[in-house]
Structure formats: structure tokens, C-alpha cells
Structure 1
Amino acid sequence: MKTYFVDSFTNEKFKGNPAAVCLPEEELDASTMQNIAMEIGFSETAFLKQITGNTYSIRFFTPKIEIPLCGHATLASSKIIFSSTSFDSIKFINCDNVELLIEKADNKIQMQFPVYDTEETEVPQEMLDALGISKIVNKRYSPNNKIILLEIESTVELANLKPDFTALIKSHTGINGVLVTAVSDNENFDFHYRYFWPWAGTNEDPVTGGVQTFLTKYWALKLNKTKLNAFQSSSRTGTMSTKLLQDKVSILGEAVIVLEGEFIL
């Protein structure tokens, strides 16, 4: 099976978020795809199947579960298709039959994802203690993503968080992850964020595009602007530009292919 490793949301190798992109020649069952994702070990592995022309089905697997939506693995998959075909646009269809429209944008790739609302929520003190957070500005919940959003005051505090992941998992159940964010103190960006998800994937996702389905709207309303620049302050770091449309969010990013090979099934 043709397999690629791609660093997403960066123009440098060994930065951004690595994703695996698999192009199976034959139909694979879910358990096989799950085993492959676990073997590769990246936060997400994408499996593509061409339906017709520039339309593909896409499925995403973490080392633990299948998820319906993933930004950086979609970006990585788009990079592979654009690099090997003459297409200027792609339509991905995920496991929930949601259409993801992708277009070339000069040397970058533009993705359109759905927009989801957040709601008020309660956060246990045990979660804040596990994250090492003493004070929060706001707390929200995205039911579509099963992700808790915590806004804190400082990007420095955000970058320096060193969660106790054993305690973090025990602090809450029924969620996929917790996203911590802060307004940027850098004129090149509007907000910073980090995403911790030991419940459903890895301890920390290096650069996360899928959370922009609710995070872009959160900051767009708060900052009163529709075009935003985001910085993910993980150890690998990553950047992206987003734009809030009516019922979509446009995510603009870059990706770098770092490996091409064959997975022996």
C-alpha cells in the first residue's frame, strides 16, 4: 500500500504535525486500518479511496479510535493528491458524509470545514490541576467535537503547560480532548492554542486544524474579526490562517512531504 508521511501546517520539515496518508489498492476493514494507524503511531493516519475524478472518500484513525474529522491529515492528503495529479480542487467525503472542499491557493492549500457552536460547561477542578492552570478566563464545550475549550490569560503560561496526563484522563470522561487557548501577544497572530487529547489520541496534538470548526468562531466573535491567524505553541509549533464564513470555516495552510514508501499488508 502506497504510504506517505507529511508534515502539515508548516513549510519546514520536522515542524508542524506529521500525518500518514495511505492509498490502499483494495478495500480495508476498519480493524486493519486501526492496526495500521496504531503501528504508525502518528496522531492521525488518513486512508483515501478515489470515488470518481477529484472526489475521494477519506477516513481518519488515531492510534486509538476512528474520528470523523481531522484538519492536518486532510491537509496532508490534499498535498499528496495535488502533487500527483493535475487537479486544482478536491472533494473529500468523510465517514459522516460531510463534504470537505479543498482548493489550491498559490503555494498553499485552502480547506473548507463546517462550523460548530460551543455551549457553557462546567470544568472539574481536577482537570485544571492536571493541566497546571490556576485561573481561566472562559470555559466552553463543543458537543460536535466532544472537546472542552479553556481560555487563559497568558500565551507564556500556555506554552509552559506541562500536564499530568495520568491525572488528566482521570479528571473527566466522555470527551475527546481539552483545548487551551489565549489571545496572542504577537502582532503576527490573533490567538495561540494547544490541544491535549489522551482520551482519544495522543497526549498532545502538535498542530490541530479540526478544532478550527469551533475555535475560529469563538475568537472571531471575541475579537470582532473574520480573518484570523493562529499559532499552535506545541514543541513542534505550527501556524495557519482561518476565515469565518457563514456556515463554513476556511483554513489555509502548507505541508511538506517527508517520506514515500510502501506499507506491507
Structure 2
Amino acid sequence: MTDRVPRSSRSISAGRKLFGRPRGGAAGRGESRRSVGGSPWVNSVPETPEVLHYTAFSDDPAGGNPAGIVLDAAGLSDEEMLAIAADVGYSESAFLTGASSAAYTIRYFSPKAEVPFCGHATVATAVALGERVGPGDLVFATRAGTVPVSVTRQDDGTLRATLTSVEPHVEDIAPEDLAEALAALDWPAGDLDPAFPPRVAFAGARHLVVAAATRERLADLAYDFGRLEALMHRLDLTTVQLVWRADADTFHVRDPFPVGGVVEDPATGAAAAALGAYLRELGLVPEATVLTLHQGEDMGRPGVLTVELRAGDRRIRVSGAGARIPA
């Protein structure tokens, strides 16, 4: 019998988390056993670090994509960071493991594994730092490369972060791998939009881009968790980015994330950057444009991601609001 996740991603299948919630313990919500004292700089020997909880791509704590954030992770081992991420239970948590005058060193862990780059956790971390030191420019050294981030304060006081991706690229997917992905998703090939051929896109992490022909197809998601997870491990994919184009500049997107141990990611900055690279590479949008991505609506956590493409610059800019999740 296949282990298929529910069509409505508001419920949980086989005990797996969709995007996770804190389960208590050292990584519980809000204030934990040791505080960084308001300083954004990384301390050298953490005991049980404070885990902050922020959402990205929404100014509503109940929307967007939540992330755990540890500002003082310099003394944590890989195993300890993974354990904290698993206990927090969100799709990813971010850990600042070092800081210099040039950049913050940041690492990202899902409940199951480290990932090279995570857009929403980057935005959430930038907002958390912005609350402590004010708006401005930051640089994050990730395992995928250097990611500049600009934090601005809106007229209503909301903080907004814009990340600039590493150099992106787009590649073909083998027909047999695409067939396996569609079988795992239970999506007939006839339900795809022929104007958007499936490709693997990278802008910090690898994502398979698959476009639905209708909003109804995008909303009706029930996939084989284990089968898709196995394919994604083999192809080194972080998520599958499922998209539907509402108009020239607006897309609705969803991101199954079984390799991270969650059914679906509510708002995926790295995939948004990859989608921007894909759309430009295939000539589906102008070289310079601004796109709006809606994600999380089918999960009850709506978020909005803004994707900017600039002429003469291959990098992709992804921006969104952020907010602290109250205890």
C-alpha cells in the first residue's frame, strides 16, 4: 500500500508534519532557557540556546512560513542543530554559526537533514536581526554561496527583507524522471500547462518546476510521500515547485517537501528564486519584471512572495514581510 498524503494539506498523514509546530522542550516557542540578551552577534559557547520563532512572507504570525532561528549557534554540533530543528518541527530552522564584519555564517536544517539554502528562513532571520539592530544591509554566507539581504521598514512599521540569490541555472529533466514525478504526484500529463515545460531550476537549491493547467489541479494535491521522496533524493531536489499562472505577473504555487520530513512547505523563497530563473530562461516573462507569488492558501497559511528580475543581472531577488510568532 502506498503512503499517500491527503488532498487537503490541513490534515496530517501518517504522523508527519506539514510545516510543523513546536513540541516543547529546549526548542519550545518564545523564550527558552538562555537568551542572547538582545545582541544579534553569535556567542561562542552556547548552552541551551534561545530559539526564536518568526514567520516569513507574511506580516501575520498565522500566515507565511514559520522558521526557528538560533542567533547563537556557534558551539552547536551538526547533530544538535538537527535535533533542535526536529524539535521545533518547522520545515526549516536557521542557525547563525559565526559572524564577522563581512557576513553572518548561516546554516539551515529541516527536521530530517541539512539543506544548502532556505529562502524563508533567510528572510525570517533577517527580520529578526532587523528588529535588533534596525533596517539595513546584511550578508549571509550560506553553503550555496553568498546571499546579500536588505531589510527595510514599511510605513506601518512592518519589516520587509529582500534576498539576492546566488547565480541560478536551469536544466532539463529526463523523460523517465518526469514520468516518475508525475506518477508520485498522481498528476496525469494532460493536467499540465504545455506552455511551461518541466525543468529543474537552481537559485541556491534544486527544485523541479511543474506547471498545472488549472487552479483546481493545483489545489487537488495527494501524492505518494515515499515515492516522491525517493525520486527527490536521487535527483538532489529540495522541493517540487508546483505552479499555476493566474495572469502575466501572478502565480499560485505549492511545494511538496518530503525530503525535509514535511508534506508541504507553506512559502518557499528558494523555490521562488528558482522559478524566477526558470521563467526568464524559457522566455516566459520579460528580462526585467516583478512577479507576485501566492503560496500557502491551500494550507490555511497564506503568504505573498515578490520576485524581481533585473536586466543585466542573472541573480533573482525575492522579498517578503516577516513577523515574530508570539509565545
1:238 aligns with 2:303: yes
Q: How far off is 1:106 after superposition?
A: 3.5
1:14 aligns with 2:62: yes
- The alignment's TM-score, normalised by the length of structure 2, stands at 0.72
> In 2 relative to 1, CA 171–87 (structure 1 residues): closer, same or farther, beyond 3 Å?
closer
> Contact (CA 8 Å) 1:124, 1:171: kept in 2 or not?
no
After the TM superposition, which of the residue ranges 169-178 and 107-116 deviates more from structure 2?
Answer: 169-178
1:140 aligns with 2:203: no
> In 2 relative to 1, CA 26–111 (structure 1 residues): closer, same or farther, beyond 3 Å?
closer
SS across alignment from 2:269: coil
> Contact (CA 8 Å) 1:9, 1:238: kept in 2 or not?
yes
Aligned to 1:82: 130
Alpha-carbon distance in structure 1 between the residues aligned to 2:324 and 2:142: 23
The correspondence of residues 226-265 of structure 1 with structure 2, limited to 5 A, is: 226-233=289-296, 234-235=298-299, 236-245=301-310, 246-259=313-326
> Contact (CA 8 Å) 2:245, 2:252: kept in 1 or not?
yes
Aligned to 2:172: 120
Alpha-carbon distance in structure 2 between the residues aligned to 1:214 and 1:148: 9
- Superposed CA offset, 1:83-140 (max 9, x none): 01135111111134x2211112332221111242212212343431331312223211
Alpha-carbon distance in structure 1 between the residues aligned to 2:200 and 2:134: 40
1:125 is aligned with what amino acid? Answer: A
Q: How far off is 1:34 after superposition?
A: 1.0
The correspondence of residues 215-234 of structure 1 with structure 2, limited to 5 A, is: 215-220=275-280, 221-224=283-286, 226-233=289-296, 234=298
Aligned to 2:235: 174
Aligned to 1:35: 83
> Contact (CA 8 Å) 1:92, 1:101: kept in 2 or not?
yes
Alpha-carbon distance in structure 1 between the residues aligned to 2:231 and 2:307: 32
Aligned to 1:104: 151
> Contact (CA 8 Å) 1:57, 1:92: kept in 2 or not?
yes
Aligned to 2:254: 194
2:198 is aligned with what amino acid? Answer: K
Q: How far off is 1:68 after superposition?
A: 1.3
> Contact (CA 8 Å) 2:71, 2:96: kept in 1 or not?
yes
> Contact (CA 8 Å) 1:114, 1:248: kept in 2 or not?
yes
Alpha-carbon distance in structure 1 between the residues aligned to 2:82 and 2:212: 35
Alpha-carbon distance in structure 2 between the residues aligned to 1:226 and 1:52: 34
Alpha-carbon distance in structure 2 between the residues aligned to 1:175 and 1:193: 20
> In 2 relative to 1, CA 115–227 (structure 1 residues): closer, same or farther, beyond 3 Å?
farther
Aligned to 2:43: none
SS across alignment from 1:203: strand
Q: Which ranges of structure 2 fall in alignment gaps of 5 or more residues?
A: 1-48, 155-159
> Contact (CA 8 Å) 2:113, 2:260: kept in 1 or not?
yes
1:132 is aligned with what amino acid? Answer: D
Two-structure CA RMSD over aligned residues (Å): 2.2
1:206 aligns with 2:260: no
Q: Which ranges of structure 1 fall in alignment gaps of 5 or more residues?
A: 261-265
SS across alignment from 2:262: coil
1:57 is aligned with what amino acid? Answer: T
Q: How far off is 1:175 after superposition?
A: 3.1
Alpha-carbon distance in structure 1 between the residues aligned to 2:256 and 2:73: 34
> Contact (CA 8 Å) 2:94, 2:121: kept in 1 or not?
yes
Q: How far off is 1:16 after superposition?
A: 0.7
Alpha-carbon distance in structure 2 between the residues aligned to 1:155 and 1:75: 27
- The alignment's TM-score, normalised by the length of structure 1, stands at 0.87
> Contact (CA 8 Å) 2:207, 2:240: kept in 1 or not?
yes
Larger Rg: 2
1:223 is aligned with what amino acid? Answer: V
After the TM superposition, which of the residue ranges 15-24 and 80-89 deviates more from structure 2?
Answer: 80-89
1:142 is aligned with what amino acid? Answer: A
Alpha-carbon distance in structure 2 between the residues aligned to 1:168 and 1:41: 20
> In 2 relative to 1, CA 41–153 (structure 1 residues): closer, same or farther, beyond 3 Å?
same
1:160 is aligned with what amino acid? Answer: D
Q: If each structure's strand is expressed as a fraction of its own residues, which one has the higher value?
A: 1
- Superposed CA offset, 1:5-57 (max 9, x none): 11110111211101000122652111111111111111101001452347311
